[in-house]
Structure 1
Amino acid sequence: MTRTTPRRPVSVAAVFPELAPYRGRTTRLHPRPGRPGRHDSHVGGPMLWPYGEPWPICREPHRRETERAERFIADPPDVPAVLREHELPEPCVLHPEEVDTYPWAEDDTLPASLIALIDAWDDAQVAEHGPDAPCYQYDLSIPPGWRVGGFPSWASTGPMHIGCGTCATPMQLLLTAEGSEMDGGSHSWVPLEDRDPALRGMASIRGGHSVAQPTRLRFGRDRDLHVFTCPADPRHTPRWVLS
């Protein structure tokens, strides 16, 4: 099934014509629990691994999970490979959709005069419509959830400069993985196919966890996992950032 992002609560082009030069595109992946095949684009489930390429192995030192048990019983119980549910992704089918996106508005991500204009508009919306009023950061800028390309979100850390460790070139966002597809502030992005057309707002969303947290994964303390690549040379080592 396709997934269709609803129209934004207000037209970005009409409210902020100054943002036109900064508009970008991102591909929302819309993972949903399913039964993906090995050759399908998916999160979790079967993997198509290159022939002859060794499986990656973590070589970092770890505290032994059986250490405490070994102090009290001669034969400690088997320790599962995955200790927490959110470390193993739910097999999900992807439903890609391209949408417009605009930069996170903080620090030097946009000109200071434009960020001031956005902040003033947000304040005016709250004053006129209350706490449920649309705001730039959560309703007009960057959609939540898994996405390819576009702009990084910086809700937890604030904007960061991500430079290539090999050549110092500013890196570009390749992929964002996020544990939640929506929250109380970003529910306006939930696709039409996951809504009850007879209801409005949060009450209209159907599907429960399969829509809100389809992959079951969590990154850090519910942060976004951004993967960056070097535009000067794709062979340079990618970087990942939790924000």
Structure 2
Amino acid sequence: MRKIFIIFIFAVFAVPLWAKGEEILILGRSSSTTETVPIYDSATARIFGRSFVLIGKSSAVRKNQFLTKSSTYVMQMFVQNIAAYDAIRVCTDSTPNADNALNAFDSQNVVAIRLDFVSYLNEGPQREFSDAFRANGIDTKDPAIAQFLSLVGENSVVPGDSLTIVIERNVGGNDVLLLENTKGMVGKIVGSLLARLITSLWIGRPSIDRQPDFARKLLCGM
């Protein structure tokens, strides 16, 4: 019995978080660049054999929080239903509204976020994400959030690396999140309200207060 028990435990913890999979976001036409990163007008999300056409809504450059304020990555947002998103007023007099911004994402069945890194990060984005979750009152020990942070990892990133996130909302009562890294490895997370929790990293109220210029560009286009 003891031997069987040990083998069972090993099998559970030996399951990899990442697996080689199909590309989850096929990028469309690029009409401009930011920090040498192409900005795309559209993309096609692929979720377990199904395809969803998305529109490139906005992009912004994320800065680090140190004295240098150097660029860290370019973030691009893609949404499925542009009319439903635009119907919710995410900005008032060029000021982002966090509650409305999160509600705008809630109006979408499928959303995608792409991060293109333009500088070196020794710890990767995990530390930034953990700090942002805590600032927004999100428990980093929540199973889905902990898995997300594990997938993001602590490995360093270099210019040219990318992280792609595709979320399908309300699938059997849960959101399904797929992540893809530069190597084409894909991770999957299933959890409640994942779309709102993950997007709060950048557009939750504390996140907006921390980097208002980033949020203004991402949400208000200014």
Considering the TM-score relative to the shorter chain, is it more than 0.5? no
Q: As a proportion of its length, which structure holds more strand?
A: 2
- TM-score w.r.t. the length of structure 1 is 0.23
When normalised by structure 2's length, the TM-score is 0.24
Q: Which has the higher contact order (CA 8 A, sep 6+)?
A: 1
